[in-house]
């Protein structure tokens, strides 16, 4: 199932996951993440399927500074929430979360790499 999220959805996930984060430094990042996961070129989705769309969201939210200190935590939460909303059973544990954080911190991190990590979250 393809799910398209909006800014309000991301901000709600960020509010829940980013507990004690005092604020948003750059609203442009979550706006860009929303548009990125919806991106279409010549009538075709750029990101195909739940893993790729969740990866596009996580990549944008985790790689660009937009929160004072919860960027990676929120990126993980958004990826998981997206997969759940898309009907993809996924399991979070410390090992899976750590794998995503390590991927997002890599200099050469790509959406494809993030999607590969997210596929390991499947139950």
**In the chain, how many domains are there?**
1
Residue 30 in any domain: the answer is yes
What is the rounded distance in angstroms from the CA atom of residue 45 to the CA atom of residue 40?
4
Per-residue pLDDT of the chain (123 residues; tens, 9 = 90+): 678 899 999 999 999 997 777 788 999 999 999 999 999 999 999 999 999 999 999 999 999 999 988 999 999 999 999 999 999 999 899 999 999 999 999 999 999 999 999 999 988
Residue 111 in any domain: the answer is yes
* DSSP annotation string for 80-118: HHHHHHTT--B---HHHHHHHHHHHHSTT--HHHHHHHH
Residue 1 in any domain: the answer is no
Find the helix or strand (DSSP H, E) in which 7 lies.
Answer: helix 7-17
Q: Residue 98 is part of which domain span? A: 7-119
Which CATH number fits the domain that encloses residue 14?
1.20.120
Residue 2 in any domain: the answer is no
Residue 79 in any domain: the answer is yes
């Amino acid at each position: 199932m393809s799910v398209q999220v909006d800014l309000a959805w991301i901000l709600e996930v960020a509010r829940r996951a980013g507990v004690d984060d005092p604020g948003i430094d750059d609203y442009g990042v979550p706006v860009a993440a929303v548009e990125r996961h919806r991106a279409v070129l010549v009538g075709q989705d750029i990101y195909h399927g739940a893993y790729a769309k969740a990866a596009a969201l996580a990549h944008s939210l985790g790689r660009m500074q937009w929160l004072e200190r919860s960027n990676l935590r929120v990126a993980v939460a958004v990826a998981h929430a997206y997969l759940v909303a898309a009907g993809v059973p996924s399991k979070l544990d410390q090992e899976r979360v750590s794998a995503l954080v390590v991927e997002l911190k890599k200099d050469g991190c790509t959406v494809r790499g993030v999607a590969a990590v997210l596929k390991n979250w499947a139950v």
